Chain A
Amino acid sequence: MLNADVEVERRSFTVRATLSVAAGERVALFGASGAGKTTVLEAIAGLVPMSRGSVSLAGRMLSGPGVAVPPWRRRTGLLRQDPGLFPHLPVRDNLRYGSRGAAAAELEPLAAVLGISDLLAAMPARLSGGQAHRVALGRLLLAHCDALLLDEPYSGLDAALRRTLTALVRTLVRDRAVPAVLVAHELADAQAFADRLLVLDRGSVLQAGSPSSVVLRPASRRVASLVGYLGFAPAGRGLAGVHPDRVVPGALPDRGPVLTGTVLASRPSGAAWEADLLVGDTPVTCKLPDQPTGPELVITVLDPPYFGPDGNAIDRPAADARACPGARSSS
Chain B
Amino acid sequence: MSCNHIQELLAAYTENDLSAEDKALVEGHVQSCRECASLLSLLREADEALAAFPQIDPGRELIERLIAIPIPKSRFRTFFEMFRKPSLQPVMAAATIFLAVLSLYLLNPDRKQIDKAIIRTFHRGIGQVEKLYAEAGSVTDTLGSYAENVFVSLKSINPLGRSKD
Pairing of A with B: no
Interface residues of A (CB under 8 A from B): none
